[in-house]
Amino acid sequence: MTGSPLIRALDRGAVAFIFVLVAIGIAVPLLNLLLPPSSPWHVPTYLVALWGKYVCYAILALSIDLIWGYCGILSLGHGAFFALGGYAMGMYLMRQIGTRGVYADPIRPDFMVFLNWPELPVYWYGFNYFAYAALMVLLVPGLLAFVFGWFAFRSRVTGVYLSIITQALTFALTLAFFRNNFGFGGNNGLTDFKDILGFNVQAQSTRAALFAISVAALIIGFFICRTIVASKLGMVLVSIRDAEARTRFLGYRVESYKLFVFTLSACMAGVAGALYVPQVGIINPSEFAPGNSIEAVIWVAVGGRGTLIGAVLGAVIVNYGKTTFTSGVLAPYWLFVLGSLFVLVTLLLPRGIVGTWRHMWQKHRERQDAIASAHAAADAEAAPKPAE
């Protein structure tokens, strides 16, 4: 635990991981844009969009790992923050449609015209500006997490009770967003997007750019998480996870620490959602579904909680599996696969993929050290004493 916080954050594994991400973030868009479709190295646009979606899921997984893996807060409602960020971005994209909508109203989105709303509700004001929408992407999930966390952590709601409340939170939001008069497009949500910052969201180059930006956001998120977990703040978080009462009696204000990471994590989830929406082209209330949040927790468990890299890998691997499965004859069985995956990982691989790998590597190193020191001792015994 020496050196500046920055040096501690960027250990060898973290630097290598960031390099890999940078390479992917540059290579995939270039292979898509520069190579002709006939080339074997060409990455088709649909894959760029699909992988971009995985990257957004990876950011969400990272945000869950920060609070669950390092601070023991199991949120089963993180999909809510993801979806709120997505809706904030969706509202911006809706306002960009302008007169190109079915009803060609310059201000009101189609669903409002359809519902005979005379004018734009106040809470839709400002979303025609990207900067404002971007601010809301961070602020709305962050504020909700802050208020929710303020009450929950102050009342010392922990463990499974907290998980249940977060689950209820996301379920309540699903119901609210399903309502037409809530003002966010009801059941259909927000879709039919045209432009983002003046660029066509469907265009190949925009998709490539969105992919690169998502990877950049993942790198920044990873770096922030690494900085936190490698600092003394991170040590306190792990202490809270393992022995909350002890941490309190040492004089740490546990609820402030929890509130800080929980809010930060919600903002990260919001960014993930905001990047997700232009790439999939729709946001609707099903994103709030409790099942989504649980699925995200499974990604982290599979990859290895408390490892950060594992969360990213878990999100990509499980979602790759989901894409493969649900597009073939096995489609009806995906939920069984996901369920059994969670059960099997919990039983056989409780540390997850990366966690298990790190554990085995450490054991291996310890064995090597023991052998080396045994050899050294034997050598010292065998060697003639310098005095003789």
Partner 1 sequence: MANRTTSALLYLDAVSVSFDGFRALNDLSLTVEPGEMRAIIGPNGAGKTTMMDVITGRTRPDKGDVFFDGSFDLTTMDETQIAELGIGRKFQKPTVFEMHTVEDNLRLALKGERQARKTLLWRETPAEQARISEILGIIRLGGVRGRVAGSLSHGQKQWLEIGMLLAQDPKLLLVDEPVAGMTDVETHQTAELLKEINRSKTVVVVEHDMTFVRELGVKVTCLHEGSVLAEGTIDQVSTNERVVEVYLGR
Which residues contribute to the site for partner 1 (CB under 8 A)?
Answer: 1-5, 227-228, 231-233, 235-236, 238-239, 242-243, 245-254, 256-257, 260
How far is residue 192's CA from residue 210's CA, in Å, rounded to a whole number? 17
Q: How far is the CB of 245 from partner 1 (least distance, A)?
A: 7
Residue 283: which H helix or E strand, with range?
strand 282-283
Q: How far is the CB of 238 from partner 1 (least distance, A)?
A: 6
Q: How far is the CB of 223 from partner 1 (least distance, A)?
A: 14
Q: How far is the CB of 123 from partner 1 (least distance, A)?
A: 32
Q: How far is the CB of 217 from partner 1 (least distance, A)?
A: 21
Q: Output the six-digit token pair for 271.
A: 């960014």
CA 22 to chain centre: 18
Pick between residue 245 and residue 383 the one whose CB is nearest to partner 1. 245
Map residue 195 onto helix, strand or coil: strand
Q: How far is the CB of 255 from partner 1 (least distance, A)?
A: 9
Pick between residue 246 and residue 375 the one whose CB is nearest to partner 1. 246
* 239-243 LR contacts (CB < 8 Å, sep 24+): 240/71, 240/72, 241/70, 241/71, 241/72, 242/72
Pick between residue 127 and residue 257 the one whose CB is nearest to partner 1. 257
Give 215-267 as a DSSP string: HHHHHHHHHHHHHHHHSHHHHHHHHHHH-HHHHHHTT--HHHHHHHHHHHHHH
Q: Output the six-digit token pair for 346.
A: 């919990």
Pick between residue 35 and residue 243 the one whose CB is nearest to partner 1. 243
Query: Is 293 in contact with 170 (CB distance < 8 Å)?
Result: yes
Map residue 196 onto helix, strand or coil: strand
Pick between residue 172 and residue 366 the one whose CB is nearest to partner 1. 366
Q: How far is the CB of 142 from partner 1 (least distance, A)?
A: 16
Pick between residue 263 and residue 293 the one whose CB is nearest to partner 1. 263
Q: How far is the CB of 71 from partner 1 (least distance, A)?
A: 11
AA identity, residue 97:
I
Q: How far is the CB of 312 from partner 1 (least distance, A)?
A: 22
Q: Which residues contact 293 (CB under 8 A, 6 or more apart)?
A: 75, 76, 77, 78, 79, 80, 166, 167, 170
Q: Specify the DSSP class assigned to residue 306.
A: T
Pick between residue 201 and residue 261 the one whose CB is nearest to partner 1. 261
Half-sphere exposure of 121 (CA within 13 A, CB side): 15
Pick between residue 67 and residue 91 the one whose CB is nearest to partner 1. 67
Q: How far is the CB of 342 from partner 1 (least distance, A)?
A: 24
Map residue 205 onto helix, strand or coil: helix
Provide the 10 A C-beta neighbour count for residue 380: 9
How far is residue 341's CA from residue 358's CA, in Å, rounded to a whole number? 21
Q: Specify the DSSP class assigned to residue 1.
A: -
Pick between residue 250 and residue 370 the one whose CB is nearest to partner 1. 250
Degrees to nearest 5, angle at CA 318 with 258 and 190: 75
Pick between residue 255 and residue 295 the one whose CB is nearest to partner 1. 255
Q: Any idea how long the chain is?
A: 388
